[in-house]
Chains A and B, each alone.
Chain A
């Protein structure tokens, strides 16, 4: 496989791929349209996969009436939800209630700006790409908290508080697990990280991948960490009081976040657009959907954890492991000229297995009763 040479340190914010016709503005316009289209299409595909997959795994059929194999079900749902009445509670903080879905939606859309679909095919090849993602992605929480606060509903508030607590805790292992990858790749640009993956980083950084996957699931509230909208406990969490288009936006955010995390995992750990035979952008989409499917799979399999157990997992399990992983990776990068080699793969897998065995032996989720 030949990968074109890219001098990563020279990549500036106004980077335009050399083979692209037109200037900066064409590039900007084209990718903005493509990204919005991509996000909406992927969300529809993701919802279809989730509902059908959930159905099949739960020994039922899932949506299968609208269109062939039910593929038009999402279109019907979108039309339905757009035509619904917009209900705002009497005591709601109107402005906050109205702003919340937008505040939640924008950061998710921004994430896609730095994700490479092909070599150089991305809206902005920031040389701090992954840092940008970490910074922007947690802003969604603000929208969620606004929704919880503005709804003037106790269930919403409980859900929003849970979400804030979870995101604040899981940001740390999430960021630390990325640092290992950055050390190995030697760049923060996502395109550069993909180019550096002669061996997919899921093998070079197995522990980092695991931590990132778990923390990512918790960050975007996928099951088993879907506490903020735990339907059996707090009804629908922060979007209990939302209907119509605003609810649709939250629904969109939820799946767009899942797709974004899948895309980031694809770029960071699974070799991004690299792969034989198929065109690169197709490889990227296929890998993203595979990661998303794993999320569907865990959702259908596992019960939900409790809020204190969620916190314990972040601070007692993921954080120490992420620190150790970072330490070991740093030593490897110092010791070898090129840390992406097969010896590192073997060493890191062994380290991962040993560490997880040790931690799972001593780490127990507590009983969590308080005297009142």
Chain B
């Protein structure tokens, strides 16, 4: 297992098999993974727990991935969102990127390393930010 010490992931997909598959895979890689079956469930979990990266499908009942993406960016601006979809259309992709997703990985995920790279990139970016924040804080303290 690598050194992504327990970054927290949320997998959102209405297909339980995919939830479990991705959860297992990323837990094996050392992440702390939760799962949700739709956007609404995802938001409930996000309210309870700080989550670094959300991997979400688009087509889901109750609250779809694009709506979820919009609400996550409003309510949890620090969380990164990676969209996975088997339904590739220009309009879908435009919506995904306009609303600030990190990237979009296409199902059927024949190469999971693509998703792994996207996740670890997001985690790295967050760590970078956290380091910068820490530095800012020390600056403040020194200033006082």
- Real binding pair: no
Taking Cβ atoms with an 8 Å cutoff, the residues of B that contact A are none
Taking Cβ atoms with an 8 Å cutoff, the residues of A that contact B are none
